[in-house]
Amino acid sequence: MARSSPSDGPSGFAIIDKEPGWTSHDVVARARKLLNTRKIGHSGTLDPSATGVLVLGVGRGTRLLRFITELPKNYEATFRLGIETSTLDADGEVTATHDMGQVSLAEVRSAATRFEGAIEQIPPMVSAIKIDGKRLHELAREGKEVKREPRPVTIHELAISEGDKASDFRMSVRCSSGTYIRTLAADIGAALGGGAHIRDLRRTAIGPFTESVATPLDDISLIPLADGLIGRPHIAVAGAVSVAVRHGKVLEVGVLGASGVGPWAVVDVDGELLAVYEPHKQGTAKAAVVVSPAST
C-alpha cells in the first residue's frame, strides 16, 4: 500500500483488469467505495464491452494521471469484415453490409499497412470527446451526428492474423494515446472497399503496466506514486535540493541532477515521490506537479 498522510487519505495507483460490461466511470465509482475515498480518477476510457488494463490514480495520484494517460497502449482485438455498425463495435445497430467473404488475409494485411505510423483519425460519435461542452456519446444517444475534426495518432505496430470465424481477423496494436481501435478497424474495412466493426477488444498494456500485473477490481491494491511513474527517469535528491523540490522551485538542470529530455520523477532518499519536473528555459527545470507537502 502506498504511503500517505492521514490528512489526505490513501494515495497511489491501482492497476485494474476491467471486466466487460463496466464503464470506466463504473470502475471509479466502485473503487471509491472499496478504498473509502472520493479522490479517484482513471488513465483513459475503455469501452464498456472492452476488457483489460485500466490505471486508477488515487489521492495525490490523480494529479499524476496525465503522465500515465500519454503513454503508448497495446491492444488485442477481433474485427469482422462486411458489417458496419452505428458504434463501430458489436454493441451497435447494423448500418450497412458488404459482400467481403472472399477477402484474403494477405489483402487485409496489405490494407492495414496504410495505417501504420503517423495517421489521422476521425473520432467515432460514440466516444467521450466533448464538442461544445457535450460528450459525443450523449449526442449520439439523441440521434445527432456532428462534424468531428481528424486527430493525429500514431500506430507504432500493427499485426494482422486470421480469426476463428469466416471474415473475422485478429489484430495486435501498439499505438499512441488517443487512438480509437474501433475507428482503425472501420478504416481498414473501408480501405478494402467495404466496412468492418470490432467484435472484441482488450487493452493489454499502458506503457510498462501490462495485463500480467493488473488485478480484478474487487482485489484492488495500491502501488506507491513513484512506482506509478516507473516508465519515467527517476532522480533522488536530498538536503537543500529536496527542500527546494518540495516547494516547487525552478532549479538548474545540473543542480537537480537531471539528464535527458524529461519529465523526471523526483524522489527522496527513501524513494518516495516528491514531484515531477519538466524542462524549462535556459537550462532549468520546473515543477509540473508537486505531491509532497512543503512542510515535510
Catalytic residue among 47, 132, 168, 219: 47
Taking the C-alpha atoms of residue 58 and residue 12, their distance in angstroms, rounded to an integer, is 5
E runs forming strands in the chain: 12-18, 40-42, 51-58, 73-81, 83-85, 94-97, 117-121, 130-131, 134-135, 151-162, 168-175, 196-206, 209-210, 234-236, 251-252, 264-267, 273-279, 284-290
Is the peptide bond preceding residue 263 cis, with omega within 30 degrees of 0? yes
Count of residues in the chain: 296
Neighbours of 266 (CB within 10 A): 30
Taking the C-alpha atoms of residue 108 and residue 182, their distance in angstroms, rounded to an integer, is 16
Neighbours of 294 (CB within 10 A): 10
152 CB burial (10 A radius; 0-12, 13-18, 19+)? exposed
Using the structure block, give the residue that is written with the C-alpha cell 440521434.
Answer: 143
CA atoms within 13 A on the CB side of 73: 25
164: annotated active-site residue:
no
Q: Where in the sequence numbering do the catalytic residues fall?
A: 47
